[in-house]
Amino acid sequence: MGAVDQATTGGHLERYEEALARDPMSAFGLVREWMRTDWRSLFAELREHRPIFVTPAFTVVTRFADVTEVLAHEQVFSVRAFGPRLDAALGAPFMLARDATPMNWREKGLMRLMLDPRDAAGVRELAGRLADELLDAAWPDGRVEAVGGLFRPVALGVCARYFGVPGPDPQTLGRWTRAVVSDGFANFLGDPELQAASVSAGAELVAYLKDRLAELRATLRAGRDLPDDVFARLVRSTLPAGAGVTDDRIVTNMAGLPLGFVESAPGAMVEAVEQLLLRPAVLAEARAAAGDPERFDPYVWEALRFSPFFKLLPRLCEREHVLAAGTPRSTVIPAGTFVLAAPASAMFDADVVPEPGEFRLDRPRHHQLFFGSGHHACLGVHVAGPVIAETVRRLLLRPGVRLLPPPEGRVERALGIFPDTFRLGLGDDGREG
């Protein structure tokens, strides 16, 4: 299967050094821009020549062993880089904003119990049904705007029926998640408008969930049937007295479900579909395998390795640490350093991932970092995985799914991260069918 160009002679480091000597702010601007538009060749050059890339403003970590070291040392590399903004939006502490605290440990345990991996088959079926309905509706147009017409409605539908969080309507729930997550993961310059939008959207989401909780409690007290969803499961569950799972903690953790899902699942679907459609030979094989989810899913995971949705995970170094100790790249990271761990780069580190430029279906799960790693590894992995894979599968089961030439086919992304539009051709256009 085709190798993808992994040229390492991008000259980024030379241009960075020149810019730094002239004007440090322009040098950081260059790196930020490259991370958005040219990350693959930037990371390839860094892995080879500057695997721990120290700049006066931030440090980028690019090798597999070092990325997992950062993510495994939560007391050294904390989520204080973005966590406080999540807390502010929810008006209460949340697991992804707290490292190594009893709250993180206990509530992640509780929510793992609620998001039972045994739900995966049912959730997959639900996502598949929703995807087919949406694809049927788009079919006569010969086009689908895959973000607004397929990926987000599937994610919002799963939120409604599986989590039990429909929101007042899907658009409003989607507006809330976009506002909160944008501030949490994209607002490193502290834009006050993004921050204010996040806090007010978070307050609306929390108020909505409080009302929903009150309704569920009233239903339970009246002896009527509760719906079969995660919210009701949490309300019904018998927890030890004094466990501290108050109504406020239930609401905060329920807020974490749409927040964790509605932006990142469509983001991952866009990346996976684009990577598959860019490789005609792989695509033909994937389509041939699409009748069988077990054979099909590895295509999705390998596509996502080529372009994970979360390319960088931000951390704050809380105390001095020697990263990659005992290796030639050993580097002292001073307390206070803003660290960007790059899973998108780590998954191309040939020291760990054999033939990283090849599209291979035999990659072990422990080489895949698109659901994070270590202390904050994704809570929703067992249900998000089937939703992503099944939605992509139902799409590719349709004949003639294809990229459209730019500008029509270009993926438009809010803040350079969150996909808003991705137009695809659908059905016979005379080229295939």
Contacting positions for ligand HEM (CB under 6 A): 71, 95-96, 104, 108, 256-257, 260-261, 264-265, 268, 309-310, 313, 370-372, 376, 378-380, 383-384
Question: CB-wise, 31 or 257, nearer to ligand HEM?
Answer: 257
Question: CB-wise, 153 or 427, nearer to ligand HEM?
Answer: 153
Q: Which residues of 268-281 are buried (b: 16+ CB within 10 A; e: fewer)?
A: bbbbbbbbbbebee
Q: How far is the CB of 432 from ligand HEM (least distance, A)?
A: 29
Q: How far is the CB of 410 from ligand HEM (least distance, A)?
A: 22
Say how far residue 131 (Cα) sits from the centre of its chain. 20
Q: How far is the CB of 164 from ligand HEM (least distance, A)?
A: 13
Question: CB-wise, 46 or 71, nearer to ligand HEM?
Answer: 71
Give the alpha-carbon dihedral of 143, 148, 152, 157, to 10 degrees: -90
- For ligand HEM, the nearest residue by Cβ is 380
Question: CB-wise, 16 or 370, nearer to ligand HEM?
Answer: 370
Q: How far is the CB of 388 from ligand HEM (least distance, A)?
A: 6
Q: How far is the CB of 425 from ligand HEM (least distance, A)?
A: 25
Distance CA 164, CA 159 (A): 6
Nearest to 213 by CA among 234, 190, 195: 234
Question: CB-wise, 2 or 416, nearer to ligand HEM?
Answer: 416
Distance CA 140, CA 121 (A): 30
Q: How far is the CB of 308 from ligand HEM (least distance, A)?
A: 7
Question: CB-wise, 27 or 67, nearer to ligand HEM?
Answer: 67
Distance CA 94, CA 252 (A): 7
Q: How far is the CB of 279 from ligand HEM (least distance, A)?
A: 20
At CA 144, angle to CA 138 and CA 147, rounded to 5? Answer: 120
Q: Which residues of 94-129 are buried (b: 16+ CB within 10 A; e: fewer)?
A: bbbbbbeeeebeebbebbeebbeeebbeebbebbbe
> Are the C-beta atoms of residues 68 and 307 closer than 8 Å to each other?
no
Question: CB-wise, 256 or 356, nearer to ligand HEM?
Answer: 256
